Amino acid sequence: MAYASLDDLLAEGVRGRRILVRSDLNVPLSGEVPAVRVTDDGRVRASLPVLERLTEAGAAVVVMAHLGRPKGVPEEKYSLKPAVDVLRDLARFPVTLAPDTSDDGARAAAAGLAEGEVLVLENVRFDARETSKDDAERSAFARELADLVGDDGAYVDDAFGAVHRRHASVYDVAALLPAYLGDLVTAELTVLERLTPEPQRPFVVVLGGSKVSDKLAVIENLIGTADRILVGGGMVFTFLAAQGHDVGSSLLEEDRIDTVRGYLERGSRDGTQFVLPTDIVVAETFAADAEHGVVAADAMESGPFGNAGIGLDIGPATGTDFAANIAEARTVFWNGPMGVFEFDAFATGTRAVAQALVDAQAAGALTVVGGGDSAAAVRGLGFADGQFGHISTGGGASLEYLEGKELPGLTALARD
């Protein structure tokens, strides 16, 4: 598909124009209102370059974004205020948060914007029409959003993390204004295109996270494309169960065991090797200070507590094995932590994989961290973004791209 880029828009000229930008400010938060804080500002930082280019060129910018999953009405815990506070601290341009999305407050604030200023609308998901399955409802909301920038306005989609959604601020508004691809989305596409259909080989995929059901479609599409798929995180216990092993109290999706068993068989047939842990860190309870120990992955029933316990991380031997597999790769894609990295005692596996990607990148491989918890984990463990080839802001969008699905936000931007 062909797209018009931000460069194209800037070449046309934006001085004195209002530009509507869909950014990704869906940041992780901690704490309770009013003492809420952003725990990973990666998405805010990633949104800055496009806003800087537009404001430096003289545009007045109206930003649309969401945070969390509010139920179509304002909820203070989902306010964009914490993210906007971070943006304001980082930005070289004035930033204001509108009191609403497209109501009187937002209209007045947008009309009063000067060149080089940025107005962030309150969480677009506070309006139920944003995510409505009714085309007319979404279109009506999109019209209100487009009207904020007037007849001379334009739309820039710089939120790759939302392009897999058929939402008003992503899909419908692109039909109402001249639409352009933001630099962040362009960068994501450039990297993801290097993962399919012919990546540099060996192509190693590392998958973790809690549920195998979240990764079924991407596994399905990667069998026959990836040379190896390394499996960790909570999802690994469904794989171990599919091999006939007892996983004790660990997270297990019993209704997916047959599907996973089929993937293991297909992998052997189609040239994709599944690499599973040989040892597991098990704990007596799910707690940061829980008693824990290491057991063989095929002997979890003989755990150190008189029972199998609950698996919370891959073991040290597995970390070494995964690192060796990654070291042989020319292309690595990683999505999902290897354990409960939020607890220091169970972050070792995730740290081992992150370090292996850093080493592989230094050795000339392309390493891609697939957003979401993986991105938060590497930053939380002290790694810098520049140590990896690319840290995606996409999360679910990145996975759907690798699944081969059509992404509505990109379809809406395509030009003949």
Binding-site residues, in ranges, read: 24-26, 43, 66-69, 125, 165, 215, 311, 342, 371-374
| Residue 211 a catalytic site member | yes
How far apart are the C-alpha atoms of 9 and 17, rounded to whole Å?
A: 11
In whole angstroms, give the CA distance from residue 140 to residue 133: 13
Residue 94 has a CB neighbour count (10 Å cut-off) of 13
- Which residue from 106, 122, 109 is spatially nearest to 66, judged by alpha carbons? 122
Give the three-class secondary structure for 155. strand
Q: How far is CA 241 from CA 154, 228, 272, 285, 317, in A?
A: 52, 20, 20, 20, 20
Please give the helix or strand (H or E) that residue 314 lies within, else none. strand 310-314
> Strands 118-120 and 95-97, how do they pair?
parallel
Element (H, E) at 311: strand 310-314
**DSSP assignments along 268-296, one per residue:** HHHT-EEE--SEEEEESSSSTT--EEEEE
Output the known binding site for (2R)-3-phosphoglycerate. 43, 125, 165
Q: Give yes or no: 209 in active site.
A: no
**Cα–Cα distance measured from residue 209 to residue 326, given in angstroms and rounded to the nearest whole number:** 18
77 is catalytic: no
User: CB neighbours (10 Å) of residue 114?
Assistant: 9
Q: Is 185 helix (H, G, I), strand (E, B) or coil?
A: helix
Q: Is 379 a catalytic residue?
A: no
Q: Report the C-alpha gap between 156 and 179 in whole angstroms.
A: 6
Over the Cα atoms of the chain, what is R_g?
23
Strand pairing of 118-120 and 279-283?
unpaired
DSSP 180: E
Catalytic choice (45, 143, 166, 211): 211
193: CB partners within 8 A, 6+ apart:
none
- Could you list the active site residues? 43, 211, 372, 396
